[in-house]
Amino acid sequence: MENKKYTSRILVLFIALAMTLSLVMPSAELSAYAAANRNTAVEASSDSGTGEAVPAETTSGAAAPAAASTEPIHEKSTAVITGYQTELNVARSKEAKITATITPASEGRLVKLQRYNHEKKKWYTKDRIYVTGTPNASVSFKIPKENRQRTSSIWRLYSPATDTSKTAVSDYITVTTRNIESYNLSAKAACVYRINADGTGTLVYSKNANTKRAQASTTKLMTAVLLMESGLLDSKTKISRHAAATPWGSGRLAAGDTYKTHDLLYAMLLPSANDAATAVAEKVGGSERAFVAMMNSKAKEMGMKKTHFCNPHGLDADGHYTTAKELAMLTAYAYTFPEIRECWTTQYKTIKSIKNKRRWTLWSTNSIFGYVSNFIGGKTGTEDNAGCCFTGVYEYNGSAYVTVVLGSGYGFSRWADTKKLHNYITEYAHTEY
């Protein structure tokens, strides 16, 4: 009996001791312990660590309740991500890498590589790394190979807030990967170029697109652009002896005769009349030589670093060259002028000189009419050194695209090359994710 009473007293003492310990344990420590466990649970559930897609809304974790504190609250510093390219353009088989610098990083930072899904309208984490440095740190991510199957995708770098600094997010980074490495083209150089909404462009297909080549009469696009910007389109132009004597001219422009300058634009861009190009150059620049200087100045202004003009019409000349990409840039710029677009879509037009009433029916050299859909227009060029050239514009799925071929074979070759590039647009280039 005594043993039972003794055991009961011990049990009561243990219960009383446990209750006392629970009362004296600091409530602040309990709160901190619970918050820490909540943070761990959130991070574990937000990303499995296998590189699978995780919605951006979950990757940053949930904010834990702040523990009671008597210490002063300090405002967090601004964090920035810098030093990265906003556009990457690589072949699908090659490595695509995004590098950047994040500041501050002295206490260490988590940085995530995220890809935007247009269908779900969410950001998904594809990779993450933890970096540290004083006062900044460099980060480098490879675009996963499985995410380089499409033509274009949107990415960003995202770094959650730390105890001392705010969240940091990069601008959008466009990664363009060319689905097709090569076409069986006769052209020595070619490209497909998407015209962006802000007037810039993106190269979405390339074959030697940055190699210098003669451009033949596609040169006349720059002559047309400078005419548009001169404000002289509605003026009249007198044909000089020099203009009328231009090699491989139309043979229709007689020295001393006068034409509406607007009609000479059509003569340049439809039958590609060299004498009309020289007449326009003299009208705008005062002389052919002065006008050529204007052409090169405009090319430099447009960022065309591998383009140089020696004349306004495109006849072969030493030092007269461009690249497929830069011709696409010029074509995209010419596309912004309604008068040039109207001229491009015209297959034939009759003009008449003002003084002698000489009539001339202009026929377009663009044989692509009727062979491809959504064709807006473009410019041909043919010369011994340049070969057969063509630059054309197409509208597809709400965007405008330029195709360029330089140095195609004779006959129907440039049009066959252009049709292949046009097929690229309809099959691949419109892809948005």
Mind telling me the catalytic residues?
A: 217, 220, 272
Q: Which residue's structure tokens are 């090319």?
A: 299
Q: Is 218 helix (H, G, I), strand (E, B) or coil?
A: helix
Q: What is the DSSP string of 125-156?
A: EEEEEEE--SS-EEEEEEPPGGG-SSSEEEEE
User: CA 334 to CA 40: how far, in whole Å?
Assistant: 58
DSSP 373-433: SSEEEEEEEEETTTEEEEEEEEEETTEEEEEEEEEE-TTTHHHHHHHHHHHHIIIIIT---
Q: Which ranges of 311-390 would DSSP assign to H, the alpha helix?
A: 324-334, 338-344
C-alpha dist (Å) from residue 425 to 60, 251, 421: 38, 39, 7
Both structure tokens of 19 = 């209750």
The rounded distance, in Å, linking the Cα atoms of 423 and 192 is 11
Distance, CA of 117 to CA of 375 (rounded, Å): 31
CA distance 206 to 189: 8
Collapsed DSSP state (helix, strand, coil) of residue 372: coil
- Report CA 152 to chain centroid distance, whole Å: 9
- Beta bridge pairs of residue 111: 129
CA gap 75, 276 in Å, rounded: 68
113 to each of 161, 172, 176, how far by Cα in Å?
15, 11, 16
Q: Which helix (H) or strand (E) holds 220?
A: helix 220-230
Q: For the CA atoms of 346, 251, 283, 366, what is the dihedral angle to 10 degrees?
A: 20
- Measured in residues, the chain has a length of 433
Q: Please give the single-letter amino acid code of residue 297.
A: S
What are the angstrom distances between the C-alpha of 231 and each of 219, 227, 274, 295, 318?
20, 7, 21, 16, 31
Residue whose token pair is 């840039």? 329
